[in-house]
Amino acid sequence: MAVHRIIQPSRRYVSVFLLFSAVLNMASAVTHYSIPEEMEEGSIVANLATDLGLDMKTLSNRKIRLDTIANKKYVDVNKDTGEMYIAEKIDRELLCNIKTATCFLKMEVVLENPLRIFNIELEIMDINDNAPQFRRDTIHLDISESTPLGERFSLSNAVDPDIGANSVKTYHLSESHHFGIEIQTGRDGSKFADLILKKALDREKQAFQNLILTAVDSGVPTRSGTASIIVHVLDTNDNAPYFEKESFRLNVPENSPIGNLVVKLNATDLDEGSNAEVIYSYSLYTSEKTQGTFKLNPDSGEITVKEMINYEDFRIYDMEVIATDKGTNSLSGQCKITILVTDMNDNHPEISIKSFQSPIKEDIAVDTVIAVVSVSDKDSGENGIVDIHIADELPFALRESSDNYYELVVSETLDREKVPEYDITFTVTDGGSPPLSDNETMTLELLDVNDNVPLFPQSFYTMPVMENNAPGALLSSLTAFDPDLHENQYLVYFIIEKEIVNTSISMLFSINPENGNLYALKTFDYEIEKEFIFHIEARDSGVPPLSSNVTVHIIIVDQNDNTPVIVSPWRVHGSVVEEKIPRSTDKGSLVSKVIAIDTDSVQNSRITYQFLQVTDATLFSLDQYNGDIRTMRMFSYRDPRHQRLVVIAKDNGEPALSATVTIKLLTVETAVKAYSDMTEVPLEYDIFSDLNLYLVIGLGSVSFLLLITILVTCVLKCQKPMPSKAAPPSRNSVISERNSTIADSTLVSNDAYWYSMFLAETRKGKLVVRQPVPKAGSRYIVSSLPRSTGLTETSDSAASTLQGSTTTGSGSSSS
pLDDT digits (tens, 9 = 90+) for 148-201: 888 888 888 888 887 777 888 888 888 888 898 888 887 777 788 889 999 888
Contact assessment for residue 48 and residue 77, using Cβ atoms and an 8 Å cutoff = yes
Separation of alpha carbons 157 and 458, rounded Å: 94
DSSP, collapsed to helix, strand or coil, labels residue 429 as strand
Q: Which helix (H) or strand (E) holds 694?
A: helix 691-717
Longest dimension (CA), the chain: 203
Distance, in Å, from the CA atom of 797 to the CA atom of 801, rounded to the nearest integer, reads 8
What is the four-CA torsion angle of 382, 388, 391, 394, rounded to 10 degrees?
Answer: -160
- In 722-807, where do the E strands start and end? 733-735, 741-743, 747-749, 766-770, 780-785, 805-807
Q: How far apart are CA 518 and CA 495, in angstroms?
A: 9
Which stretches of the chain drop beneath a pLDDT of 50?
1-28, 671-689, 720-815
Whole-Å CA distances, 40 to 71, 91, 325: 19, 11, 55
Q: How far is CA 265 from CA 108, 304, 318, 733, in A?
A: 50, 11, 15, 158
pLDDT score for 719: 61
Specify the pLDDT at position 801: 28
For residues 563 and 548, what is the distance between their CA atoms, to the nearest angstrom? 45
Contacts of 697 (CB under 8 A, 6+ apart): 688
Angstrom distance (rounded) from CA 549 to CA 539: 9
- Phi first, then psi, for residue 26 (nearest 5°) are -65, -25
pTM: 0.41
Minimal CA–CA distance to 530: which of 565, 506, 559? Answer: 559
- Residues 6 or more apart whose Cβ sits within 8 Å of residue 205: none
Q: Give dist(CA 120, CA 45) in Å, integer.
A: 13
For the beta carbon of residue 287, count every other beta carbon within 10 angstroms. Answer: 20
- Please give the C-alpha separations between residue 668 and each of 422, 671, 750, 751, 776, in angstroms, as whole numbers: 104, 10, 17, 19, 21
> In this structure, which long-range contacts are made by residues 288-292, counting pairs with CB atoms below 8 Å and at least 24 apart in sequence?
288/135, 289/314, 289/317, 290/317, 290/318, 290/319, 291/319
C-alpha 118/C-alpha 343 separation (Å) is 32
Coil, helix or strand for 768? strand
CA distances from 247 to 337, 340, 386, 406, 511 (A): 6, 14, 38, 48, 101
Q: Strand 133-134 to strand 83-86: parallel, antiparallel, or no bridges (unpaired)?
A: unpaired
pLDDT reported for residue 689: 42
Report DSSP state, residue 539: E
User: pLDDT at position 694, please?
Assistant: 65
For residue 574, the model assigns a pLDDT of 57
What gap in Å lies between CA 630 and CA 337, rounded to an integer?
145
CA 623 to CA 607: how far, in whole Å?
Answer: 12
Count the residues in the chain.
815
Handedness of CA 714, 720, 726, 731 (dihedral sign): positive
Cα separation values, 79 from 61, 76, 198, 503, Å: 9, 9, 67, 71
- The pairing of strands 421-430 and 437-447 is antiparallel
DSSP symbol at 763? S
- Within 10 angstroms of residue 705's Cβ, the number of other Cβ atoms is 21
